[in-house]
Structure 1
Amino acid sequence: MLHPQRSLSELPKMSAASQVERAVLVEEFNWLLKEEVHAVLKQLQEILKEASRRFSMSTPGLESQLKQENFILGSSTMDQVKGVLTLQGEALTQADINLKVAKSGQVLHFQLREDKQWKLQQIQDARNHVNQALLLLNSRDETYQFKTGAEVNKLMDAVMLQLTRARNRLTTPASLTLPELATSGLMLHVLPPNTTKNFKPTGSSVLHNPGAMFELNNNRFEVSHVHKVECVVPWLSDTLVFFTISLQLCQQLKDKISVFSSFWNYRPF
């Protein structure tokens, strides 16, 4: 299909309009790099500083000592397990747990040994990832001038990586295996081994179905019952919200940069 040929007088007008549009976009993009990027970085710093403080809450008047918090174990489906845990920073310092055996009705009592603490590595790892994200943000102060959108995207990707790792460590924490838990010496009560069945060793997870077996000190043990209880740690829930908000801010900034690049056939940065 043939198109009518444009007159020569129209070409300069179209060219001028295109140049004006491009000039406006370039000006807006430069403002984004100079002003809005730093505004987002400052907002991210404030949010992550608050998240970092939640990991190191101290006792009022005793700034060198982390606050001790007690949490009640609970389950919406059964009451065979009841107890109270004491969390101090990243460590479980005390635990008092009662387990009711379903068949016999016997109540087994477990406590953390006074000379033992259960270090929750996932909390320490999450805090370290937050601090790494803060270091990345602090490396670009208000006087720094971003020259390209690619440079901003690179920084956002690095920050988002640390935040994603921090969130994943809290939402899917690693657990002690059954042999590791048994050899840790954390608990005082030890159940006798069951050697009446053919031994089929389980995998490395701490959560197994009834009938699973593991070996410890040449003794073979069988899992007779499995009970899962939980407790809510409010300040950890807060940090997950901080991570989500921060990740959204990073992605929104990346999206704004991509909008500008769509106006050109080539990458403007």
Structure 2
Amino acid sequence: MATAMAASAAERAVLEEEFRWLLNAEVHAVLKQLQDILKEASLRFTLPGPSTEGPTKQENFILGSCGTDQVKGVLTLQGDALSQADVNLKMPRNNQLLHFAFREDKQWKLQQVVGGSSQIQDARNHVSQAIYLLANRDESYQFKTGAEVLKLMDAVMLQLTRARNRLTTPATLTLPEIAASGLTRMFAPTLPSDLLVNVYINLNKLCLTVYQLHALQPTSTKNFRPSGGAVLHSPGAMFEWGSQRLEVSHVHKVECVIPWLNDALVYFTVSLQLCQQLKDKISVFSSYWSSRPF
């Protein structure tokens, strides 16, 4: 019995020593690795800031779709805003070609919420908050319990998940919200009243959607059911705008991959995996002495 107790005590001492090493050394090594990765992710978001010298560089993206040539366009992204847009739309009924471009004095923030930031700005803000949380625990900081590490990892993972979701989950908008967004007034010549345009980020892609509309006559026998919010509305979606009831007749979507957003999403995934791996290691030790704080 005494031998077994001595072995148990020795095993516990070894585990406690390993755990102290984990808290004092490996945790900080992981935090440093996370900071390095997230700083690289932050650099991918080429946004103007107080220390930025000169204007943010412009990037041109040629939008297309393998399924249709109804819409072709070139969008110019400057940080988190569209600074130029040049779009050609071939009308399905008569093959008439429409061309419209941004007015020179206009820029459009990508899915900016009312009173808030754009998709790209929000994502970078969450990355910056994650870096701040990590930097607050420099190498001189001594973690006392595993629970403290778990709490920090949960906080960092929450910011990274929010950053990723802001890019991977575009806002669901109703058709009246798209009509009222002001994007349609950015173009010259003015868009025809039977067109709506939406531009947003989805995953690593810049997406442009053009909705063609037709008015429902007062004598129409169709059962009018206004559509709710959606990232992409389908033909047949109905809404009321002003004194008119309208229906979507055609939907055209074109897109293009933004390479630096693709990089950022990879960094988010790697960082989340590192956080989870560290949490798993902490949890392994907690299973050995659940009766005391770990």
TM over 0.5: yes
Report % sequence identity. Answer: 70
Please give the secondary structure, in 2, of the residue aligned with 1:86.
strand
Select 2:251's aligned residue among 195, 208, 226.
226
**Residue 157 of structure 2: aligned partner:** 160
Q: How does 1:1-269 map to 2 (within 5 A)?
A: 11-56=1-46, 63-120=53-110, 121-174=118-171, 176-183=173-180, 184=182, 185-187=185-187, 188-192=190-194, 194-196=215-217, 197=220, 198=222, 199-205=224-230, 207-269=232-294
Displacement of 1:265 after TM fit?
Answer: 4.7
- Which has the larger displacement, 102-111 or 143-152? 102-111
Displacement of 1:54 after TM fit?
Answer: 1.0
Please give the secondary structure, in 1, of the residue aligned with 2:129.
helix
User: Contact conserved, 1:86 with 1:94, CA < 8 A, in 2?
Assistant: yes
Q: Which has the larger radius of gyration?
A: 1
Q: Name the CA distance, whole Å, in 2 between partners of 1:170 and 1:95.
A: 21
Displacement of 1:43 after TM fit?
Answer: 0.5
Please give the secondary structure, in 2, of the residue aligned with 1:28.
helix
**Would the alpha carbon gap of residues 68 and 175 (structure 1) be closer, same or farther in structure 2, given more than 3 Å must change?**
farther
**Would the alpha carbon gap of residues 194 and 171 (structure 1) be closer, same or farther in structure 2, given more than 3 Å must change?**
same
Q: Name the CA distance, whole Å, in 2 between partners of 1:157 and 1:206.
A: 29
User: Contact conserved, 2:47 with 2:80, CA < 8 A, in 1?
Assistant: no
- Which has the larger displacement, 174-183 or 251-260? 174-183
User: Contact conserved, 1:51 with 1:242, CA < 8 A, in 2?
Assistant: yes
User: Contact conserved, 1:57 with 1:67, CA < 8 A, in 2?
Assistant: no
Q: Name the CA distance, whole Å, in 1 between partners of 2:231 and 2:16.
A: 57
**Would the alpha carbon gap of residues 219 and 115 (structure 1) be closer, same or farther in structure 2, given more than 3 Å must change?**
farther
TM-score by length of 1: 0.89
**Would the alpha carbon gap of residues 91 and 240 (structure 1) be closer, same or farther in structure 2, given more than 3 Å must change?**
same
- Which has the larger displacement, 108-117 or 248-257? 108-117
Displacement of 1:262 after TM fit?
Answer: 2.0
Deviation by residue 1:17-68 (Cα, 9 ceiling, x = unmatched): 111111010000000000000000001101111111111267xxx8332110
Deviation by residue 1:73-111 (Cα, 9 ceiling, x = unmatched): 111211111100000111111111111122211122232
RMSD over aligned Cα, in angstroms? 1.8
User: Contact conserved, 1:126 with 1:169, CA < 8 A, in 2?
Assistant: yes
User: Contact conserved, 2:170 with 2:231, CA < 8 A, in 1?
Assistant: no
Q: Name the CA distance, whole Å, in 2 between partners of 1:190 and 1:180.
A: 17
User: Contact conserved, 1:178 with 1:206, CA < 8 A, in 2?
Assistant: no
Q: Name the CA distance, whole Å, in 2 between partners of 1:243 and 1:112.
A: 33
Q: Name the CA distance, whole Å, in 2 between partners of 1:78 and 1:252.
A: 44
Q: Name the CA distance, whole Å, in 1 between partners of 2:35 and 2:192.
A: 48
Deviation by residue 1:117-158 (Cα, 9 ceiling, x = unmatched): 221211111111101101101111110000000000000000
User: Contact conserved, 1:44 with 1:246, CA < 8 A, in 2?
Assistant: yes
**Would the alpha carbon gap of residues 267 and 116 (structure 1) be closer, same or farther in structure 2, given more than 3 Å must change?**
farther
* Residue identity matched to 1:186: M
Q: Name the CA distance, whole Å, in 2 between partners of 1:173 and 1:87.
A: 17
Q: Name the CA distance, whole Å, in 2 between partners of 1:57 and 1:200.
A: 41
* Residue identity matched to 1:219: Q
Displacement of 1:190 after TM fit?
Answer: 1.9
Structure 1 unaligned segments of length 5 or more: list them: 1-10
Q: Name the CA distance, whole Å, in 2 between partners of 1:169 and 1:89.
A: 16
The structure whose residues are more often strand, as a share, is 2
Structure 2 unaligned segments of length 5 or more: list them: 111-117, 195-213
Please give the secondary structure, in 1, of the residue aligned with 2:43.
helix
